[in-house]
């Protein structure tokens, strides 16, 4: 598989050229690649070179695909340094100024995924720009994402948590409860599963996407209705390395507002209701809609095969059978709650209208799907 991705590029020189941008100002300096030091030292250095000693900063850098990725700890700092080739482009922001933005990543690393990746990496694709090779996005692990925004009712949220074998616990608890549903017979109280607790410092809490009393509707595309707490627990644990839970947030005020109506697929699936979502997204239906209807300021996307291709995040760490990996990680942006309000990098993520070649892509995809499944 993509073994070579693990191997750091050895061509790089010993010094890393850093170009740091804060507001309209640029600073250039260099770092020793072999001895990058710690993140807090680096942070201090940035404050020093920009002469903003008391300003809280958000540090981001452009990765190999031009995605804006954060630097906020030793690990991603080291990764940024080690993958900078040769230039490391930094973008600094005041913490208080940073607003509704997320760092994003497109871990598109496979040749066979290029079709989709092209679709998803619309800006680059349209401009036919060769991506700037900065680093390997896989080394930056997405932590969580909101997916299927385009096909879900606005009151629902599909959250993907990436466990990846990191140390941080998933960190949430679920409980039995009851919720009120609208049925043909009127309002009805039905049993449901709810998030009961978030472990401080856990993955779930740190994403900010899940909250206590959120009702769990689906686990990796399977509805939890009619299942016991233990069953749902087991389902979540079985999917824990790539957990996708659809919740109905208790707090409905933070819902994503769709500024665009989205593509046809989005509208259609949105109207198809929740129950059909599960099967649809599970078996590739959502891939069409996802590919077709990316909202203009797309936050996340949810490609086909994602649900199915579990267990695969680890096979880069440990070697697997080698061949025939299903489509995976075609497009998965992430958000980091530790830097929750970052300005999207507009250079890289420009809202565009669907282009003809994207429509074509979609068509071919559908055909592929049909061939496969029939």
- Name the nearest CA neighbour of 234 among 304, 322, 163, 174: 174
Q: Is the distance from CB of 150 to CB of 139 less than 8 angstroms?
A: no
Sign of CA dihedral 327, 164, 118, 289: positive
Among 9, 12, 231, 255, the residue binding another protein under the rule CB under 8 A is: 231
Pair type for strands 215-219 and 222-223: antiparallel
Among 235, 290, 336, 365, the residue binding another protein under the rule CB under 8 A is: 235
Q: Supply φ then ψ for residue 66, to 5 degrees.
A: 85, 10
Minimum Å distance from CB 243 to another protein? 8
Number of C-beta neighbours around residue 144 at 10 A = 22
Nearer to another protein, 65 or 163 (CB): 163
List C-alpha distances in Å: 230 to 175, 195, 201.
Answer: 9, 14, 24
Binding flag, residue 9, another protein (CB under 8 A) = no
Among 186, 322, 353, 356, the residue binding another protein under the rule CB under 8 A is: 322
Q: Supply φ then ψ for residue 126, to 5 degrees.
A: -65, -35
Binding flag, residue 159, another protein (CB under 8 A) = no
Minimum Å distance from CB 317 to another protein? 8
Binding flag, residue 173, another protein (CB under 8 A) = yes
Q: Which stretch binds another protein (CB under 8 A): 59-67, 87-95, 282-290, 338-346?
A: 282-290
Q: Which stretch binds another protein (CB under 8 A): 35-43, 47-55, 86-94, 311-319?
A: 311-319
- Name the nearest CA neighbour of 61 among 101, 22, 88, 32: 88
Minimum Å distance from CB 95 to another protein? 31
Q: Which stretch binds another protein (CB under 8 A): 19-27, 45-53, 180-188, 316-324?
A: 316-324
CB-count exposure of residue 289 (10 Å: 0-12, 13-18, 19+) = buried
Binding flag, residue 213, another protein (CB under 8 A) = no
Rounded Cα distance between 57 and 108, Å, is 29
Binding site for another protein (CB under 8 A): 3, 6-7, 163, 169-176, 196-197, 220, 222, 224, 227-241, 243, 275-276, 278-280, 282-283, 285, 305, 308-312, 314-315, 317-326, 369-370, 372-374
């Amino acid at each position: 598989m993509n073994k070579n991705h693990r191997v750091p590029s050895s061509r790089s020189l010993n010094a890393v050229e850093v170009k740091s941008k804060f507001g309209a100002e640029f600073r250039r300096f260099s770092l020793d690649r072999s001895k990058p030091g710690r993140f807090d030292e680096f942070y201090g250095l940035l404050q020093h070179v920009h002469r903003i000693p008391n300003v809280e900063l958000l540090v981001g850098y452009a990765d190999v695909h031009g995605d804006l990725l954060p630097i906020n700890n030793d690990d991603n700092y080291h990764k940024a340094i080690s993958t900078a080739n040769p230039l490391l482009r930094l973008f600094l922001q005041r913490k208080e100024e940073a607003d509704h933005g997320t760092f994003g990543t497109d871990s598109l690393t496979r040749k066979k995924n290029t079709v989709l990746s092209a679709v998803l990496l619309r800006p680059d694709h349209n401009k036919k720009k060769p991506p700037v090779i900065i680093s390997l996005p896989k080394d930056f692990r997405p932590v969580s994402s909101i997916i299927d925004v385009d096909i879900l009712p606005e009151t629902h949220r599909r959250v993907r948590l990436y466990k990846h074998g990191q140390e941080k616990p998933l960190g949430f608890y679920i409980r039995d409860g009851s919720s009120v549903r609208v049925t043909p017979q009127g309002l009805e109280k039905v049993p449901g599963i709810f998030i009961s607790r978030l472990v401080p410092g856990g993955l779930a809490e740190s994403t900010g996407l899940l909250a206590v009393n959120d009702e769990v509707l689906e686990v990796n595309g399977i509805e939890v209705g009619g299942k016991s707490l233990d069953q749902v627990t087991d389902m979540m644990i079985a999917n824990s390395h790539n957990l996708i839970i659809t919740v109905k947030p208790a707090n409905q005020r933070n819902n994503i507002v769709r500024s665009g109506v989205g593509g046809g697929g989005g509208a259609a699936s949105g109207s198809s209701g929740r129950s059909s979502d599960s099967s649809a997204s599970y078996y590739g239906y959502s891939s069409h809609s996802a590919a077709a209807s990316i909202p203009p300021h797309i936050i996340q996307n949810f490609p086909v095969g994602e649900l199915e291709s579990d267990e695969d995040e680890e096979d880069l760490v440990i070697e697997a059978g080698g061949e025939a990996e299903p489509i995976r990680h075609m497009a998965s942006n992430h958000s980091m709650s530790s830097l929750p309000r970052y300005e999207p990098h507009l250079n890289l993520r420009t809202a565009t209208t669907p282009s003809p070649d994207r429509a074509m892509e979609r068509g071919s995809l559908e055909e592929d799907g049909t061939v496969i499944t029939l």
